Structure 1
Amino acid sequence: MYKNSQFEEKDADKVLAFMKAHSFITLIGYDGEFPVATQIPVHVYQDENGIRLVGHIMKKTDHHLAYAKNENVMALFTGAHSYVSASVYENPAVASTWNYSSVQCKGKIKLMNEEETRMVIKHLTDSFEDPKTSPAAFHKMDDA
């Protein structure tokens, strides 16, 4: 990411709010040879230990195997973006640019056991499906 201090958000509460509002992330890891990435929805939590992202990835995929091999990951949150034409500049004879909002988080991934994974899937499903009326509610899923 191109970093310029004049555009960097210093207010941690605003950064956290952005992360919560744009919680369909790109999770990036490294398998020892190539980068790997997957897009997943996450829940964003903050407590005395810092910020924690909780989501679900399928087992035995290339990214799962990479994350199991190397716990260092980056989560990329992206928001609105737009081309900015140099034609609106005082001196338009320069390169145009792109305006965007994003947050990058670096940390360590923790792969969960089967019961923890079930609880994450339940929480994610219940966030997007009405547990009482949806035919896709968590409690209606096959155990497998």
Structure 2
Amino acid sequence: MYTPSYFEMNDRQEINEVIEAYGFATLTSLHEGSLTATQLPLLLSEDKTELIGHFAKGNKQWTDIEDQQVLVVFQGPHCYISPSWYETQNTVPTWNYVTVQVAGKVKLLKEDDSRLWQSMVALTEKYEEPTSAYNLLDVDPSYISSLSKGVVGFTISIDKVEGKAKLSQNHPKERVERVVERLRNMNKSDEKAIARWMEKKMKVKK
């Protein structure tokens, strides 16, 4: 990933926070000689060394992915930055964003591997509202068993991880403050999230 030094994310805890907050990722591999990508939710293992997820068995990307080195992209918040927010018109638009890329080797899980079921429970618990009455553990085991035959679980070793936070660090502080103020006042979740990231990275005063 092309990352100028001032956009680098070097704090592994911060990178892990992005992975956990934006876990619906894009997994790219070679399938039958062509690049193939699937969007799917992934979980970070407790020791932070692996990602775990599952394919629908009908998605043939899994059939030749064992032991492949794959690329996973976690896309954080992103938004357009207008030059009209600057103190000068003598500049161009840009895009601010936060993203993490993970490269690693895939291992398929056997059907009876407990990690597959545990990951499904963990995914449900992560994304259900705290007040939700739904509990995957309450579903009829025979129904779960039949559904489980339709998925293929896998892990991805985290062999290389890169984080990038492009947040106007290459602009003067006064300009960054202007951008943060505009984003903060927009009623859009990504824009507000980018404003928070900019404040965090640039220590812009509210």
Q: CA RMSD for the aligned pairs?
A: 2.6
- CA distance 1:4–1:120, change in 2 (3 Å): same
> 2-side partners of 1:114 and 1:72: how far apart?
22
Could you tell me how far 1:83 is from its partner in structure 2? Answer: 0.8
Answer with 1 or 2: which has the greater Rg.
2
Structure 2 portions without partners, runs of 5+: 147-206
Could you tell me whether the CA contact under 8 Å between 1:81 and 1:100 is conserved in 2?
yes
1:31 — aligned with what? 31
Could you tell me how far 1:86 is from its partner in structure 2? Answer: 2.8
Matched residue count: 139
Q: Residue by residue, what CA displacement relative to the aligned partner does 1:52-107 show, whole Å, maximum 9, x if unpaired?
A: 11111122423212423x61111111111111123344553443211110000101
Instruction: Using the aligned pairs only, state the percent identity.
Output: 30
- CA distance 1:22–1:66, change in 2 (3 Å): same
> 2-side partners of 1:26 and 1:121: how far apart?
18
Could you tell me how far 1:133 is from its partner in structure 2? Answer: 4.3
- CA distance 1:127–1:86, change in 2 (3 Å): closer
Give 1:24-63 correspondences, 5 Å limit.
24-45=24-45, 47=47, 51-63=49-61
1:140 — aligned with what? 139
Could you tell me whether the CA contact under 8 Å between 2:43 and 2:119 is conserved in 1?
no
Could you tell me how far 1:45 is from its partner in structure 2? Answer: 2.4
Give 1:1-144 correspondences, 5 Å limit.
1-45=1-45, 47=47, 51-68=49-66, 71-89=68-86, 92-116=89-113, 117-128=116-127, 133-134=133-134, 137-141=136-140, 142=143, 143-144=145-146
Instruction: Tell me the secondary structure at the aligned position of residue 98 of structure 1.
Output: strand
Instruction: Tell me the secondary structure at the aligned position of residue 106 of structure 1.
Output: strand
TM (normalized to structure 2)?
0.58
